[in-house]
Structure 1
């Protein structure tokens, strides 16, 4: 069976997505504005803006000068990608083999599917009608190859227009045209001889087996080459794909690169160009409908027990574990409530999830009753089986596990459920000589404990560190015999140091603008062990400061 590929291009996708949000078409020019190279440019236009002479890639200031009534909205690449994904799901009605071509196109493998819609023309007409109801502009192309379908969707009906170029023989000065008369036709700027017939494309559908004849009259840009390659062909006086196809392959590869020849081969079907459809997302959810609305915490807990077993069975079947679980309660009036819990480690056991959801039941207001409960694992991760280990490892494991469940993980999960996952953190060592940067703070739910021994500081660092606090003492690098700190007078008993630390010269840290520091371990007459430093001064004045307290 011959392969047939459909390319669906939405040339005004970003603009029409905005128009759908604000209620439909506008009678005035409208454009979506994005940034390119630090400048604001038009990235998508409606039909009225194109009629006014605006174009994609045009600077915004030039566009507003040409069209004072231009209405604009900022580009939103994330929302546009989600909208394209929604269109991919719609295109699944034509074939299960659909892939996205960001930012504004889809490609569909229609092999063996067109007859279900009455033929290729009827299928394309149905796609256009669907898009018209959605308020979207659609350009479709159907051919034997992906490259040819892409070209038809964007360039069907266009012919190669001559562009002025200093290398084109047709633009030579009068004094050199006498030499051009003795050259062959295509050397004087005429069309190159083509083995393919230069017939115009028959609409947007290329008949089977006629890929080359359909591509031949299209402009060179229809090959999908980089702009510099297309410009290179134009400088040689070439205008259409057919003229490029007539060139010797060896010279073409030598001058324009092997990737250019490979692109041409893919467009003609001489080299494979597969379509990789997006895999359907893994969804893990269970729901229970009640014959009569429920309203007590015990009934909700019983419903959770009934739902968790099939949910976890599906997770184990796919080798996944839940990291975030959502419980949704639907009310008879159409409203709903939901709560979420997070797990420190991916889990596929009901007991791990049940305990956390039970802590959230009290936050659900049953109101006039709950007629449906739904539990969904909204975030999952692969779960690997635990390998058997020896007696030593098993004994060490028993110190941290109980019943196969990590005790620390349980603690993190319960604290995160009560306080929020952002409130439960752990520290990891960091590679920095700056005292306050010796560790980094990570979320405990999304990080593993530091597996190695904590790097020993030499000299040791204080147990408690704070922002540098001023110390009233003589401005002398020698440790003061007496000083005043936090409203109290202190007398130095011993002083150990100094340890000189310099700021990170590649960063402008406001806390280190007082220059190089000399750190001293000071023990006072009353037993306090402090970490003081003398700042030698820089952008700010120096002096003595307290930075930490030893335990």
Structure 2
């Protein structure tokens, strides 16, 4: 029977090193990432310079600034750290197909039956360390028969967590330089040259087959993945290391510290199973076309894009997905690349609807010395429900519905084409708002990401066609409608009026525009022909008076 072997990878500085990859100068100064914990700002990740000054993870930001006044900080962005961890998840698939992420900064790899492909377990771990160093990442590893033991070895054995990145790394150059530079070999990106000896693995990070218990025995009880309260209780009783728990009665441990401590002991030693559930790789839809000779004519590019789009749409159709955002990459003969992004108003896997959008982008492509490869990827896709079989009556009803929706389909195509030119977010539509406040009665939404409103609610009182911010009206400060008033430098006299309509502010919101208290609205027809929407503010946090907010058609 093949023995199970688990490799735990912990990236203790993942958040900081992700930002250092984008801003290399942060590696040369004390730098930390700050997050919020219990309504307080604490250090969540830091580089080696900051750690040498005594700053540590979980330390309050004010204490860190007391130790180092020159500490540079950035706010933590958890979803971007998670996306970067997912990228590392794909990279770890080269060592084993059984990889599971442990957010926010760790991976677990089941190496059972895979280590011999890399020359053994030590050679594989050296390769992992070398790859992480080339990526500018600090990593700590633990290899054992169980997940609990591997987790403990990765975090509680002495290991050098720093990378050997230097100033000659290509990732530390300017972005413009990187985009125009050819692909370098790993020893030109800050790694070791061929034939150079790899860094020696730290002692104790590998537990031999059947030796997990002896490997983790000298480690502190915190290596059992137990909560801080249980750790403090064990330390007060003198049980500071895992070896101290060996001779203790299991029934007494469970009764005094709970079943969780015994379960973690069993998982670390292999007495209780702890399966690894690998995360399913996300669906990726892309197509690539390599050309025997570079091309530069618009017609040639259009023909290549037509082939790419057909192949990509076929894959999307097989999986029941539709492309919403496409990314087009043009690789030129001088080893440079240009990329363009286009959005569609509706997810689709129909080449006839996607090709017009791509043709509109051809003029933006700079062929340079010639394009030798094109790549098209659906970076955002959505499910498209499959059609179901129907009888004659249902088919006739659906055909009628499709004819009625013909205009809607044309509108979606028009939105896609306009969005390709001026930007999808620039096209908006109005939706009814759930508020009795006049200026909040309608919402402005992006047309591509919203559905048209079916029925607008009918208000019992007519609203003006044009609305603006309340403008002061010179009139007597009384609730009664004035016989004459002055607005925008002109004198008016009411000829007819309808009102008042009392509208009160939303008491659960502090809107600065409504601090003047309740309003009495009047629809006033003036002697100059204008039909204005006036209101009298009864006063509150602000003074009372008359104002004009709109005009009827």
TM range (shorter): 0.7 to 0.9
How many residue pairs were aligned?
A: 504
2:480 is aligned with 1:475: no
Distance in 1 (CA, whole Å) between partners of 2:20 and 2:378 is 34
Match of 1:109 in 2: 110
Q: 2:456 aligns with which of 431, 449, 454?
A: 454
Distance in 2 (CA, whole Å) between partners of 1:419 and 1:18 is 32
How far does the alpha carbon of each residue in 1:315-343 deviate from its partner, in whole angstroms, 9 at most, with x for none? 11121101012333333333343433211
Q: Is the 8 A contact 2:343 2:424 kept in 1?
A: yes
Gaps of at least 5 residues in structure 1 are 159-200
Distance in 1 (CA, whole Å) between partners of 2:296 and 2:119 is 53
Distance in 2 (CA, whole Å) between partners of 1:231 and 1:375 is 56
Q: Is the 8 A contact 1:24 1:135 kept in 2?
A: no
Residue 133 to residue 527, structure 1, CA distance change in 2 (3 Å): closer
Distance in 2 (CA, whole Å) between partners of 1:53 and 1:337 is 44
2:428 is aligned with 1:425: yes
Q: Is the 8 A contact 2:15 2:33 kept in 1?
A: no
Comparing 220-229 with 406-415, which one deviates more in the overlay?
406-415
Match of 1:161 in 2: none
Residue 220 to residue 368, structure 1, CA distance change in 2 (3 Å): closer
Q: Displacement, 1:363?
A: 3.2
Distance in 2 (CA, whole Å) between partners of 1:494 and 1:255 is 84
Residue 397 to residue 526, structure 1, CA distance change in 2 (3 Å): farther
Match of 1:380 in 2: 381
Residue 527 to residue 249, structure 1, CA distance change in 2 (3 Å): farther
Q: Displacement, 1:31?
A: 4.5
Q: Is the 8 A contact 2:517 2:538 kept in 1?
A: yes
How far does the alpha carbon of each residue in 1:364-413 deviate from its partner, in whole angstroms, 9 at most, with x for none? 344554444332222111111245546455434312216xx812212221
Q: Is the 8 A contact 1:416 1:424 kept in 2?
A: yes
Q: Displacement, 1:67?
A: 6.5
How far does the alpha carbon of each residue in 1:257-281 deviate from its partner, in whole angstroms, 9 at most, with x for none? 4444443333333443232333333
How far does the alpha carbon of each residue in 1:459-497 deviate from its partner, in whole angstroms, 9 at most, with x for none? 332333222222333222122233333444433233222
Q: Is the 8 A contact 1:429 1:455 kept in 2?
A: yes
Distance in 1 (CA, whole Å) between partners of 2:397 and 2:528 is 47
Larger Rg: 1
Match of 1:34 in 2: 34
Match of 1:443 in 2: 446
How far does the alpha carbon of each residue in 1:27-80 deviate from its partner, in whole angstroms, 9 at most, with x for none? x88452424546555444556665665543344555565568x76453654565
Residue 14 to residue 479, structure 1, CA distance change in 2 (3 Å): closer
Q: Is the 8 A contact 2:146 2:267 kept in 1?
A: yes
2:302 is aligned with 1:301: yes
Residue 338 to residue 209, structure 1, CA distance change in 2 (3 Å): closer
The DSSP-based 3-state class of the residue aligned with 2:435 is coil
Q: 1:410 aligns with which of 410, 413, 420?
A: 413
Aligned pairs for 1:365-404 (under 5 A) are 365-387=366-388, 389=394, 391-392=396-397, 394-401=399-406
The DSSP-based 3-state class of the residue aligned with 1:203 is coil
Distance in 1 (CA, whole Å) between partners of 2:24 and 2:472 is 62
Q: Displacement, 1:499?
A: 1.6
Q: Is the 8 A contact 2:32 2:50 kept in 1?
A: no
Match of 2:288 in 1: 287
Q: Displacement, 1:251?
A: 4.7
Aligned pairs for 1:263-282 (under 5 A) are 263-282=264-283
Q: 2:526 aligns with which of 524, 527, 548?
A: 524
The DSSP-based 3-state class of the residue aligned with 2:532 is strand
Q: Displacement, 1:540?
A: 2.5
The DSSP-based 3-state class of the residue aligned with 1:300 is helix
Match of 1:167 in 2: none
Q: Displacement, 1:22?
A: 6.9
The DSSP-based 3-state class of the residue aligned with 1:362 is helix
Q: Displacement, 1:82?
A: 4.9
TM-score, L = length of structure 2: 0.80
Comparing 254-263 with 441-450, which one deviates more in the overlay?
254-263
The DSSP-based 3-state class of the residue aligned with 2:266 is helix
Residue 317 to residue 329, structure 1, CA distance change in 2 (3 Å): same
Q: Is the 8 A contact 2:217 2:243 kept in 1?
A: yes
The DSSP-based 3-state class of the residue aligned with 2:341 is strand
Match of 1:169 in 2: none
Q: Displacement, 1:143?
A: 1.5
The DSSP-based 3-state class of the residue aligned with 1:359 is helix
Match of 1:538 in 2: 540
Q: Is the 8 A contact 1:33 1:60 kept in 2?
A: no
The DSSP-based 3-state class of the residue aligned with 2:411 is helix
Distance in 2 (CA, whole Å) between partners of 1:21 and 1:439 is 41
Q: Displacement, 1:115?
A: 2.3
Match of 1:207 in 2: 208
Q: Displacement, 1:351?
A: 0.7
Match of 1:510 in 2: 512
Q: Displacement, 1:239?
A: 1.8
Q: 1:547 aligns with which of 535, 546, 549?
A: 549
- C-alpha RMSD of matched pairs (Å): 3.4
Q: Is the 8 A contact 1:29 1:52 kept in 2?
A: no
How far does the alpha carbon of each residue in 1:255-308 deviate from its partner, in whole angstroms, 9 at most, with x for none? 434444443333333443232333333332223344444444333322322221
How far does the alpha carbon of each residue in 1:409-441 deviate from its partner, in whole angstroms, 9 at most, with x for none? 122212222321111112222221211112222
Q: Displacement, 1:254?
A: 4.5
Match of 2:345 in 1: 344
TM-score, L = length of structure 1: 0.80
Residue 94 to residue 401, structure 1, CA distance change in 2 (3 Å): same
Residue 413 to residue 221, structure 1, CA distance change in 2 (3 Å): same
